[in-house]
Structure 1
Amino acid sequence: MAVRKNIVITGASSGLGEGMARRFAAMGRDLALCARRRERLDALAAELTERHPGIRVVVRELDVNDHDRVFTVFEEFRSELGTLDRVVVNAGLGKGQPVGTGHFTANRQTVETNLVAGLAQCEAAVSVFREQNAGHLVVISSFSAVRGMPRNLTAYAASEAGLATLADGIRTDLLSTPVAVTTVLPGYIESEMTRRASGRTPLLASAEAGARALVAAIEKEPARAYVPWWPWTPLSVLVRMLPAGLLRRIG
């Protein structure tokens, strides 16, 4: 399997995106990082190039809900690096509230950021890959995509399920091409989002362990991966089988 040298990561200023950037940098990969918080990207780029002098790190400020700019930024990254070998669609939002409780705006923002902006990123990436006749699309969804979830997770889970289904469809469409597509469904990994949404839980992997597991899974380029494998792969089977009443009590 060819090494994916030039890697784009969206939502790279914190959390899973930042963790993956650190791991890929340590592996000698060149990085194109984008997120809304430019100052954090600049600090991360400076740190990574100091620690790993042989790599290139280019950054762009990007709000993925600015769909036209998504396409512009990806083309700028390709121009600077020459090729885009892997794009990690990672930017996301997790501030949903129970449906029908007066929080439509928060739920809409969650769905628009995770699904509609996710589609924009996939469109931009795959258009480049089709032209290159090569590339690896990585879509970071969520374990919550395995089924409909109650309370604060309802809109979030729906958006992540839509994103995972989108990636599955793209994979099927590209089966006869050299373009690979991987759907990653992380469980609880320490990040800004999980600190807000879930607090501390025995199932919460540290940010470092989570990033290590994410990159290890991505490097294998499977069609689908639950990360970390344990306990989220067996739990995916269990959660699908749980009666709704029990899911509601523990969700």
Structure 2
Amino acid sequence: MSAPARRSVLITGASAGIGEAFARAYARRGWDLILTARRRERLEALADVLTPSGVKAHVVPADLGADDGADRLLAALRSQGLSPDGLVNNAGYSRTSGFLASEWADHDAMIRVMLTAPVKLAHGLAPAMVERGYGRIVNVASLAGTMPATGGDTLYGPIKSFLIKASQGLHLELRDRGVHVTALCPGYTYSEFHDVNGSREEVSAAYPRWMWMTAEAVVEAGIEGVEANRPRVIPGLANRLLSGLAQHLPNGMALRMVGGHARRLKRL
């Protein structure tokens, strides 16, 4: 009798932050890893750290912001005979310079990375999961997706809101077919995210420590949620309270609340 095949998971944006934390968490659970991001050297360094634990780590660099980035990644997986049992759509970033102050090409790339790629990867990989009767899809959204959009970071919240809704729809479609789909909606998380978008100093000064979570805690909540087949997970009591408050306030009050958030971060 042959041993059961090991599970494998594709993690986008795996080179740092929440993506790296997902890689480490799944490695601890004995899953093989398919790591993708733009920075090959960061992926290879992470693979070198994790493979001594007995897992296999495949490094498949990809630029999901390119016109055909998601298609090229799916083609690379097929060419290497990789058909993951899990998918963590984590790649993403924000642009805090304002909608009009940014070139359209920058917005276009952001939409491809954070909206088009997650949907296309799920569409490309979920059929094999359904055929096997097993699959796990985590779409890393954001607390921002449950609240009114923030000026200055104009597209980030709406993109994440779309991802939450798309995850809920896919959850309903696949929940009885062995494939679990969860939208993970973290709030402020210690990672490279704010360093990349240049807001580290502002957010650190604007919000107290109790509003922040570690990437490891966020990831554990996400994995627990997708295993339980919950359509949406908001990790952290403070984040759940903020989300609930925003959804129950009148629209004008909620908009003023996030407008104050933008002013604290000097985006308006």
TM-score normalised by the shorter chain: which range applies?
A: 0.7 to 0.9
What residue number does 1:117 align with?
Answer: 117
Are residues 95 and 128 of structure 1, via their aligned partners in 2, closer, same or farther at CA, if it must alter by over 3 Å? farther
AA at the equivalent of 1:217: G
Aligned equivalents of 2:218, 2:134: Cα separation in 1: 28
The gaps in structure 1 that reach 5 residues or longer are none
Aligned equivalents of 1:237, 1:103: Cα separation in 2: 34
The gaps in structure 2 that reach 5 residues or longer are 263-268
**Where in structure 2 are the equivalents of 1:150-165 lying within 5 Å?**
150-165=150-165
What TM-score, normalized to structure 2?
0.81
Other structure's SS at 1:9 match: strand
Are residues 102 and 33 of structure 1, via their aligned partners in 2, closer, same or farther at CA, if it must alter by over 3 Å? closer
CA contact (8 A) 2:13 2:92 kept: yes
CA contact (8 A) 1:89 1:139 kept: yes
Aligned equivalents of 1:212, 1:150: Cα separation in 2: 28
Other structure's SS at 1:31 match: strand
Alignment of 1:141 with 2:141, yes or no, is yes
Alignment of 1:72 with 2:72, yes or no, is no
Aligned residues: 243
What residue number does 2:49 align with?
Answer: 47
Are residues 122 and 220 of structure 1, via their aligned partners in 2, closer, same or farther at CA, if it must alter by over 3 Å? same
Aligned equivalents of 1:59, 1:156: Cα separation in 2: 28
CA contact (8 A) 2:33 2:58 kept: yes
Are residues 91 and 245 of structure 1, via their aligned partners in 2, closer, same or farther at CA, if it must alter by over 3 Å? same
Corresponding residue to 1:233 among 227, 240, 254? 240
Q: For the aligned residues, what is the CA RMSD?
A: 2.3
Are residues 241 and 174 of structure 1, via their aligned partners in 2, closer, same or farther at CA, if it must alter by over 3 Å? same
Corresponding residue to 1:214 among 214, 217, 222? 222
Aligned equivalents of 2:228, 2:176: Cα separation in 1: 19
Task: State the 1:136 CA deviation.
Answer: 1.4
Task: Choose 1 or 2 for highest CA Rg.
Answer: 2
CA contact (8 A) 1:97 1:106 kept: no
What residue number does 1:35 align with?
Answer: 37
What TM-score, normalized to structure 1?
0.86
1:195-217 Cα deviation digits (max 9, x unpaired): 43453232122334334443343
CA contact (8 A) 2:141 2:183 kept: yes
CA contact (8 A) 1:9 1:31 kept: yes
What residue number does 1:108 align with?
Answer: 108
Aligned equivalents of 1:183, 1:109: Cα separation in 2: 22
What residue number does 1:224 align with?
Answer: 232
